[in-house]
Each structure stands twice: as structure tokens, then as C-alpha cells.
Amino acid sequence: MIKTLRSLLSYTALATIVLVAVVTTHLVTTQKIVAAESTRSLYVYVSPTGSDTGGDGSLGKPLRTLAYAAKQVQPNQNYTIYLNPGVYRETEATVLPPGVNIEGAGESSVTITSNGAIPAPGVNTGSSDWSLWHHGSIIQLVSPSYSGSNPRYGSPSEMIEATDGNQTLGGFTIDGNGKTIKAGIWVENRNNVTTHNVTFKNFQHSGAVFTRGNMWWYVPLPEGKWMKNTTIHDCTFINSAADGVSGASTGNLRLGGLDGADIYNITIRENKGYGIKFMHVGHIRNVKIHDCDIQVPEVDSQWSEDASIELWNLSYGNEIYNVNCNTWLSMVNHSIMNEYQPTATHPSNLKIRNLRIKDIDGQSVKESIEVALSGVEISNSYFQDKGFGIAIWGGKAWGGTIENHDINIHNNIFANVARKVQFGFGNSAAVFIPDPASNIKIHNNVFDRLGNSLQINSADRISIKNNVFLNSQGDDVQGGKNIAFTNNLRRNTNPAKPTWQIQFAVNATNIQGDPRFTGTGDRWNSYYKPASSRSLVVDRGTDVGLPYSGSAPDIGRWEW
């Protein structure tokens, strides 16, 4: 019998369907639990001390395993499987029907694991695609992705809409048992799924995967075929990724084919692999990742560092904000696929703000953010001791027909504090643009002790205004065409560099001198703020469309 929400101790008599199954030489009776009322949430209880043969799912006679409980409930009948405190050592995957929730007694009270790899009969675990399949994960919310003979693969025309899951999972820890299990939770082509207050630890490839399923290279995801309304919050991921999987790295949390996801209050601590990474070929739209803390290795044999966040094929409406991390972000669109270019209706593919990237060992050779797409705004962020800051590349240089364009970089701080400036690839610049790009706005930033503060090569139509250049070790600006350079401030204490280090004429709106910042407190907070209304930067800027107080905008990151 099963508890309703109305009373913990009163029971509702439910209809049962009795099935008879032959197991070796014995007759075994099993029960298929059917909801008497679909309008009330009904609970099936599970306990490590329960029984899958003698239990009935009631509070007094709980079942023993999550996998068995999931088999007993009908889909879309408002069932919640409740996990009592204890350790659940599952021997098979939990295949969760749509409309069924899992509610644990708490992350510190409930652990789901397995004594070994979750069986995947007939599946080639040695395949180079093994990491892309749901087989081998402990909890599976998987609906067909294609209408053909294979529900996992097909032509783009055979893609089918996601199933409405309308389900929530939370309140437990899921453990990969020393990386003997591939993944914890796998959600595929199922809308309206929420995962919260779950700790994922020690999985081979990923703690959790949320994807609409396999997708096609260079083909935009058709309308109606996105997986919608995914919510992931207040979750912790520990050492649940890997490097060197089919020549790439996996992520603790992997995402693909999502529209309208909200991902927040995520903590990631990883010792070998990425933090958040795209799944399959990506495709990300209206996805928000915010209020997260991510720490991953600053050493990687393939890319020098593991990435904190890597997303591919970003359509419109994506945001990353209030994130602390120690390594780079990679944001890349396939250059030969133009369908995700910004439009008048959807001018923004990605907004990044209030991001703080601080290298731990101060010896990075990597960029802070890799931008290989158009329609990007990066603002109000802090970057310390990275190899260089924002790298804008791709587009035509990578075989496309459109160069990257419309990128707005404003109110950021780029500083070398512990790291020694190195010249070479990127030239320790705040903004590095080695490939053709256009309509780039660089406004109200602070560049402190960089190499060439701006290395913009052949980029065209560049607006550089209201920035502070402090002690550039090389040039203040190198390269660029059709540059609007006004109302910037320069200070360099090196007597060998008494004037602007730039290859074009500088007008009188650009000034030199001590900006008179506070020079105290955290560098991402108070250090670069004007010390008083008499600071040299106050009211010395020009209007670039950003909010300001006083008679004119201030120069630099902060307004007085």
C-alpha cells in the first residue's frame, strides 16, 4: 500500500495487477502498483532493510531497491519513490518512467551506488561511442530520440519531440564506487525534469548527462526537437569526469540539445576532467548557468588546462553569470553552420557577466575565454593570471563564410598578479583576435601588467573607449583596422615607455597619469575603484551606451 501526502500514517487501498512469472522452477508473484487516484501524489517507500519479494512499497513494508521500485509504478500517475536513509547497492539500472519522482531523505542520509559496473547486456563498452550512450548509468530517464528502427540514431528528419517527463529527483548522493560506474543520472529526450540537492561523486565519465540525444554535425537542431525546461540546482559534483576518453575530455555535468534550462548553485571539484561540457555536438539555447563554483585541474596533456565550462553550438538567449572558477571557458560554434548567427529578433547568443577566473598556480598559458561565435557580451568580470584574456577566433579562418562579429567586452578587469608576462602566442593580451572579426567593442575595462594589452591583428571596426592601461609590458594596442580610440587612460612606470605604445595617432581625449584608484581590497572588488571624486578617471570618459553618473562616464571598470 502507498502513502498519500495527506497523511503519513493513513493508507489508501490500491488496486493491484497480479502477474505470474516463472523463475527457474518456482512460481513468483509480483505486483504492479497502479494509482487509484492520479490527482494526488502517491509514495512508494524503499529501504535498504526492505524486501523486493516481501515488501509492497508501503511505509511499513518498503521495497529494497530503487530499480525494482521503478518497475512497479505506472508512468504519469503522480508517483514518488521515497528513499529512506541508508546505502542502496543497486545491481541493475533504474529505468524511471515519465511522471515518476525520486525523493531521498537527504544527501547526507541516502547513498545510491553499485558493487560494480551497471550491466549493459549486448553493449560494446569498448566502442569509441561508449561515452555517448546511456547504458552504464545508474538512473536512466531515457525516451526515444528517433522514429526509425533505431530509437537512438537516425536522419535529422527522423528526430522526434521530447517526451514530457514532469518529474523531480533530489535528496540523495549517487556514488560511482571508485569510478567503476560510467555515470550517475542520464536524462535523454525528456522535457520538464528537475534535479536538485544531489551529490555526484567518483564516476568514470560524468556525474549527470542531460541531452536530447544524438545529433548531427553541422546541422542546426530543428524547431520542436529541443529538450525543454531542464532545471538543475544545488548539486555537488566530485571527481566525476575524465581526460582521454576517445581522444577528448568528459565533464562532470554534460549538456546537449537544451532549450530553456536553468542551472544554478552548482559546485564542482574535479581532479581529472572538465567541469560542465557539451554533450554530443552541443546545441544550447536559452540556457542559464549561474551562481556556480568550479575548480578543475590546471594541467591537461591535450589543451594545457581542463576547461571549467565548454559549450558548442550556441543559439540565442544563453547566459553565464555569477560563476567562480580557475580555468578557461570554451564557447564555440561550428564555423560552417550559419543558422545560429545573431538576428534582429535574437541579437544575443551569449551573455557572460560577473565571472571570476583566478588561476591558482599563476603559471597559465591558456586564455580565460575562447569565443568562436558572434553576438557575445562579456561584462563585469575579473580575470587574473591567465595566459591571455579573451580570444576571439574562428569564423572564416575555420572554413566558414561569415567572420565573427558583434562582440561587446566591457567593465572587466584583466590583471597579472603572480604570473610573469610571456610573449608568444596571445602575447599575454587582455583581448587577442588572431582571425578576421568585426564590430568589436572594448569599453570601460582595466588592463593591468599585461603583455600587449590589446592584440587585435586584422580585426576591423574596433571601438576602444574608456579603458585604463596600466604598465603594459609590450604595446598598449597592436594591430587592428578602423579603430575608434578615445577617452582612454594610460599609466606606465617604465621610463622606457613614456608615451602610448600604439601604431596610430592618439587624440587629446586619451590621457596619461595616475588614475588614483584605492589600491586596497580585493582586485575584483574595490582595488580598481576611484579613491575619490578627484580621481583622474572620474567624468573623463565618453558615452558608449552604458549607465553612468555625473557629467560624463568614468574611465575604467567602476563608476565613482
Give tens-digit pLDDT for 45-92.
Answer: 999 999 999 999 999 999 999 999 999 999 999 999 999 999 999 999
pLDDT, average across residues 237-255: 96
Give the length of the chain: 560
**What stretch of H or E contains 324?**
strand 318-325
| pLDDT tens sequence across 476-521 | 999 999 999 999 999 999 999 999 999 999 999 999 999 999 999 9
Query: Among the listed ranges 22-36, 254-268, 338-352, which one has the minimum average pLDDT value?
Result: 22-36
Give the burial string for 235-260 (b: 16+ CB within 10 Å, else e): bbbbbbbbbebeeebbbbbbbbbbbb
> β-strands 2-4, 42-46: how paired?
antiparallel
pLDDT, average across residues 413-437: 96
| Position 35 pLDDT exceeds 90 | no
Beta-strand ranges (E) seen in 24-122 are 26-33, 42-46, 79-83, 86-89, 94-95, 100-104, 110-113
The whole-angstrom separation of Cα 526 and Cα 515 is 14
Task: Determine the pLDDT at residue 37.
Answer: 44
Task: Determine the pLDDT at residue 452.
Answer: 97
Q: What angle do CA 485, 489, 494 make, to 5 degrees?
A: 115
Residue 450's Cβ-count burial label (10 Å; 0-12, 13-18, 19+) is buried
Shortest CA distance to 131 belongs to which of 203, 226, 67, 196?
A: 203
Contacts of 115 (CB under 8 A, 6+ apart): 89, 91, 177
| pLDDT tens sequence across 291-300 | 999 999 999 9
pLDDT, average across residues 376-388: 98
Query: Among the listed ranges 217-221, 432-436, 539-543, which one has the minimum average pLDDT value?
Result: 217-221
The whole-angstrom separation of Cα 366 and Cα 467 is 23
Task: Determine the pLDDT at residue 255.
Answer: 98
Task: Determine the pLDDT at residue 120.
Answer: 76
Q: Which residue ranges make up each domain of the chain?
A: 1-85
Top pLDDT among 148 and 442 is at: 442
Residue type, 265: N
pLDDT, average across residues 425-430: 96
The whole-angstrom separation of Cα 319 and Cα 34 is 42
Contacts of 100 (CB under 8 A, 6+ apart): 70, 73, 75, 79, 80, 81, 167
Task: Determine the pLDDT at residue 32.
Answer: 56
The whole-angstrom separation of Cα 535 and Cα 517 is 7
Query: Among the listed ranges 12-21, 29-38, 194-203, 205-214, which one has the minimum average pLDDT value?
Result: 12-21
Is residue 283 within 8 Å of residue 226, measured between CB atoms?
yes
What is the pLDDT of the chain when averaged over all its residues? 92
Task: Determine the pLDDT at residue 33.
Answer: 58
Q: What angle do CA 435, 437, 442 make, to 5 degrees?
A: 115
The rounded radius of gyration (Å) of the Cα atoms in the chain is 27
| Position 4 pLDDT exceeds 60 | no
pLDDT, average across residues 381-410: 97
Question: Where does residue 134 fall: left (phi above 0), alpha (psi -120 to 50 degrees), or beta otherwise?
Answer: alpha
Task: Determine the pLDDT at residue 118.
Answer: 85
Residue 432, all three cell numbers: 587577442
Is residue 378 within 8 Å of residue 408, measured between CB atoms?
yes
The whole-angstrom separation of Cα 119 and Cα 125 is 10
| Position 26 pLDDT exceeds 80 | no
Share of the chain above pLDDT 90, in %: 87
pTM for the complete prediction? 0.93
| Position 252 pLDDT exceeds 50 | yes
Give SS3 for 519.
coil
The percent helix, strand, coil of the chain (3-state, each to 5) is 5, 45, 55
Task: Determine the pLDDT at residue 117.
Answer: 82
| Position 279 pLDDT exceeds 80 | yes
pLDDT, average across residues 260-275: 98
| Position 5 pLDDT exceeds 60 | no
Task: Determine the pLDDT at residue 40.
Answer: 65
| Position 96 pLDDT exceeds 70 | yes
Task: Determine the pLDDT at residue 18.
Answer: 29
| Position 375 pLDDT exceeds 70 | yes
Task: Determine the pLDDT at residue 10.
Answer: 31
